[in-house]
């Protein structure tokens, strides 16, 4: 799967963002291990705390379709500058997608690539919970 295709999908998904409050539109494209791409955009509500990020929308779509292994996620914002995933998304991606590649975009092009573990060092894990 070329990175450019994943980035293109993230940019397309951004078009569907519902962000009338922040006016910051985000798109994400998550690549599953069997090659299917799941996209997401941020969705805000008048009760601002109920907002969900593009990354988590893509992730819950994939999980709800039965996916359980992933390679990478691309993220594109409407400012065309790099958009780092928020802390909540980092934790949820870590728990459900593992140490995937994070592809950050600038001007709708791949700009930086890193591992999720680099963004969430010393992460909390399910193994930390009592048996
Ligand atoms: N947002 C995302 O969708 N992904 C991120 O990585 C950062 C933030 C959204 C949430 C909210 O709708 C808006 O951007 C401003 O925080």
Q: Where are the domains of the chain?
A: 3-128
86 C-alpha to center of ligand 1: Å?
7
Q: How confident is the model at residue 112 (pLDDT cuts 50, 70, 90)?
A: very high
The per-residue pLDDT for range 52-108, each reduced to its tens digit, is 999 999 999 999 999 999 999 999 999 999 999 999 999 999 999 999 999 999 999
Q: Is 70 exceeded by the pLDDT of residue 1? A: no
Average pLDDT value for residue range 30-46:
98
Which among 15, 55, 65, 107 is annotated as catalytic? 55
DSSP per residue, 30-88 = EEETTS-EEEEE-B--SSGGG-B-HHHHHHHHHHHTT---EEEEEEEETTSS--PPPHH
Q: Which CATH superfamily is domain 3-128 in?
A: Cytidine Deaminase, domain 2 (3.40.140.10)
Average pLDDT, rounded, for the chain: 97
CB-based pocket (< 6 A), ligand 1: 19, 22, 24, 26, 42, 44, 51, 53-55, 75, 83, 85-86, 89
- Please tell me whether the overall predicted TM-score, pTM, comes out greater than 0.85 for this model: yes
């Amino acid at each position: 799967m070329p990175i450019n295709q994943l980035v293109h999908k993230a940019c397309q998904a951004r078009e569907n963002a519902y962000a009338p409050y922040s006016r910051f539109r985000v798109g994400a494209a998550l690549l599953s291990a069997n090659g299917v791409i799941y996209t997401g955009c941020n969705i805000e509500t008048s009760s601002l705390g109920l907002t969900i990020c593009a990354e988590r929308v893509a992730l819950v779509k994939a999980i709800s379709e039965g996916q359980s292994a992933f390679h990478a996620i691309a993220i594109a914002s409407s400012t065309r500058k790099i958009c780092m995933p928020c802390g909540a998304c980092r934790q949820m991606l870590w728990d459900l997608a593992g140490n995937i590649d994070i592809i950050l975009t600038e001007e709708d092009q791949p700009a930086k690539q890193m591992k999720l573990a680099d963004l969430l060092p010393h992460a909390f894990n399910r193994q930390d919970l009592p048996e």
